[in-house]
Chain A
């Protein structure tokens, strides 16, 4: 039964996956790389870190971390030589519910993420392996709740431009990443299922959308004026 369901879910996902999540095949053409080699900074206004875990075998409880920072050392010639380091402010945990329960703070307490003791989570890549024309498997060390373990992210390169189409003198590059880890590995054991679905799944999904920017060398530093709504 569980297998049948898993197969059905997998098929459904395969059938309705949005383009950004479609696994690359040999037929997928390589997207152009328009951004130069260099050190890029995460654009916090255009990046989203979403976390999901299945709640009692029902829906996937979905939350977000609002404060994220990161540095990408991008190698345009040999992208697998790129490295990334990212930091998440655990105290910026943000759930979609406001009302008689404050899940934002409950999930930061000592039985969950223990944000008072471990206020930051970090990811530092250790290897990048190409898996397709626009995809790669990025392995790295995740430090969460004071413990460090390797995790793997399946990353899709979405595109890049230099300069910005609205004329700002920046190079930009965007990625989508998906990954999972077992939260019990990091000592997050609250409501771990004892039997079947009587808890919140040990497996946690990461859904990351990230853009990185870098000023174009020998160009005037971009000012604060832009036609984009975020600033």
Chain B
């Protein structure tokens, strides 16, 4: 790519300066450009092209996987320094979808999980975004679940961007994000006898500039 030479030069500089200053505790400069080449603005989740999965180990056996079908997110992107961006996201606890139906074909399992999660919106508001690489960041935020708010962290990867004629010719950004929480911190203690306390979160999201 056009700035790969710049990247190599920067990386070399970092290596040299790190060696020279090895006794100091100042962190090395990032070996990637801080600014990103996408337009500033407010990006909204495209619900057609997004999924929010959660995984929980059942009986010490497999990692049962379900999803939230009602979801939204707004990213206010600062391309000059993406760590200054803001993210808010929400899923509806009652939109849990396991794909498992009872003998009558009803979604009673989904409903019981929705109740166990407090039955309302589950929200995430970023408080800090820290770049961990050119295309990766650690997003810390306040997760409100079951009426309780505690910090949670997502490791996000920027997958790519492009303008999409089918989405109004607007800029679209693609992200993957993963994280894990201890559900008991939020007072979600149902079925502890046979399901784990760790809940893994797996997000795929495309966001469209408004």
Contacts and interface: CB of A to CB of B under 8 A. Distances in A.
Contact of B50 (A54, A56, A59, A103): A59
Interface in B45-74: 47-53, 55, 57-67, 69
B65 A62 contact: no
Interface string B187-206: 00001011000001000111
A45 B50 CA distance: 24
Contact of B159 (A57, A96, A103, A175): A57
Interface in B161-207: 161-162, 164, 172-176, 178-180, 191, 193-194, 200, 204-206
Interface string A52-96: 101111111110101000000000000000000000000010101
Nearest to A198: B162
A12 B157 contact: yes
Contacts of B7: 4
B206 A55 contact: yes
Contact of B61 (A46, A92, A99, A230): A46
Nearest to A231: B102
B191 A101 contact: no
A4 B51 CA distance: 26
Contacts of A50: 53, 65
A52 B60 contact: no
A64 B58 contact: no
A159 to B, nearest CB: 4
Contact of B49 (A16, A47, A61): A61
A54 B159 contact: yes
Contact of A230 (B53, B100, B157, B204): B100
Contact of A55 (B133, B174, B193): B174
A152 interface: no
B41 interface: no
A1 interface: yes
Nearest to B175: A59
Contacts of A11: 133, 136
Interface string A155-184: 000111100111000001111100000000
B25 interface: no
Contact of B58 (A56, A66, A174, A207): A174
Interface string A129-166: 00000000000000000000000000000111100111
A193 B186 CA distance: 43
B174 A159 contact: no
B130 interface: no
Interface in B24-49: 47-49
A227 interface: yes
Contacts of B136: 8-9, 11-12
Nearest to B172: A58
Contacts of A15: 132, 155
B133 to A, nearest CB: 5
A207 B162 contact: no
B63 A20 contact: yes
B63 A58 contact: no
Nearest to A210: B62
A61 B205 CA distance: 9
Interface of A: 1, 4-5, 8-9, 11-12, 15-16, 18, 20, 44-48, 50, 52, 54-62, 64, 66, 92, 94, 96-99, 101, 103, 158-161, 164-166, 172-176, 197, 207, 209-211, 227-231
Instruction: Give me the 5 closest cross-chain CB pairs, A-B, nearest first.
Output: A174-B61, A58-B174, A1-B1, A174-B62, A66-B99
14 contacts: A5-B135, A18-B55, A20-B57, A46-B58, A55-B174, A57-B174, A58-B159, A59-B175, A96-B67, A161-B60, A174-B58, A174-B61, A210-B62, A211-B62
